Copies of this chain bind each other. A is one copy, B any other.
Amino acid sequence: MTNSIGNVVALAGGVGGAKLVHGLYQVVPPEKLTIIVNTGDDFEHLGLSISPDLDTVMYTLAGLAHPQTGWGVRGESWNMMAALARYAGPTWFQLGDRDLATHLLRTSWLREGQPYQTITAELCRRLGVSCTVLPMCEEPVRTMVQTQEGELPFQEYFVRQRCQPIVTGIRFDGAETAKPSRAVVTAIRQAEMIIFCPSNPWLSIDPILAVSALRRLIVASQAPKIGVSPIVGGQALKGPAAKIMAELGWEVSPVGVARHLRDVLTCWVIDKADQSYQNELTHLGLQVLVTNTVMKNDAERAQLAREILGM
């Protein structure tokens, strides 16, 4: 059966997206699967270059992800943080001891001048991840969250302020000059299916689409472009997507998200809890799949992936 699967490209951000990525990884031959990952959350902290979404995808595919939080490493310890606290150092961003190895390697390789894409591939390879994982671009793009308390760098908003400030807008610093790498361009051109994982559309998918050449390639692609709604039953399964949608004036529903992503989508997957929206979505010109989208375990991840591939 797997031989009939063509090249699949999935766009993903953090925890929510990584679950479906993991489902795809279970059912798509690795040489046919490319994950393009949001790097708008990247930041510099304590001298380290940290790429939270790349790491979440990588740890998830390597089977190392923390089973409860979805981010960080299974069986993590926090002794560096304890020592940092003793120094009254910055403890608002948690860095686990095992996770630090990733940041140290990435940071030192970046300083040596190695391409971000090569570093990502090498980290994945060494953890045994056999599909292709690509940062959305080489250039630094930084998600800046405009709030009623002023503009905040993403991690300041997301971690330090726990998404509490009211969002008035979002911009992606550096996206206007960023270019997709040749590998990203090739992957999208050769894609026979493009999947938008149920990551936060405003914070995880939009930064990828803010790289304008990348967006144009996706818009131009003749492949089915299938998104999975991260909003189920009027709520985000994880994170601040619903809160941000409401603050920005969007309808908090699979329809609201579909309208936002309309020009890059051909198909939209919604949860059975939201089947009342099916007609409205169909009127938007979208092919709609209604199924279980809440992935509670590895089997449900694979099941959703299989249903998407079957569309």
Contact = CB atoms under 8 A, between A and B. Distances in A.
A113 to B, nearest CB: 13
A108 B77 contact: no
Task: Please report whether the interface of chain A is mostly helix, strand, loop or mixed according to DSSP.
Answer: helix
Contact of A77 (B87, B89, B97, B107): B97
A98 interface: yes
Given A47-B47, A79-B79, A87 B107 contact: no
A98 B86 CA distance: 10
A23 B80 CA distance: 29
Interface string A47-77: 1100000000000000000000000010011
Contact of A111 (B47, B86, B108): B47
A123 interface: yes
Contacts of A98: 79-80, 82-83
Nearest to A111: B47
22 contacts: A46-B104, A47-B47, A47-B104, A47-B107, A47-B108, A48-B104, A73-B83, A79-B97, A80-B80, A80-B104, A81-B101, A83-B97, A83-B98, A83-B99, A83-B101, A83-B102, A84-B105, A87-B126, A87-B127, A89-B104, A97-B97, A100-B100
